[in-house]
Amino acid sequence: HFNQAEKMAVVKAIAETIDLDDQYKLGELMYLDELMNTLDFDARYMEKAKQLSSQKAVQALQAMTKEKKEALIIMIDKMALAISSVML
């Protein structure tokens, strides 16, 4: 499980991955919904995470254990695959 600082940084990373192309695709929205349930956050939390400074996010991500970093890589990879799915 992620602590609060890690969770905020992870959600920021996911949100920034989604925002890369300024287009929302069905696959990424479906995966985002899955992550929201798994990590227990909502749209307001995601908006708050987007406001987190990049410096604080990087500090939190760097401090994570190897296992947590590997979990984040898997989440980002799955989101990247979802981005390549059909657009809404």
Note whether 84 and 21 are within 8 A (CB). Answer: no
Say yes or no to pLDDT of 50 above 90. Answer: yes
- Per-residue confidence at 78, pLDDT binned at 50, 70, 90? confident
CA separation for the pair 67, 50 (Å, rounded): 24
| pLDDT at residue number 88 | 45
Span 43-72, average pLDDT: 95
Say yes or no to pLDDT of 64 above 90. Answer: yes
Q: How do residues 21-32 score in pLDDT, each as one tens digit?
A: 677 777 888 888
DSSP 2-58: --HHHHHHHHHHHHHHHGGGS--BHHHHHHHHHHHHHHT--HHHHHHHHTS-HHHHH
Radius of gyration, CA atoms only, the chain: 12
| pLDDT at residue number 85 | 62
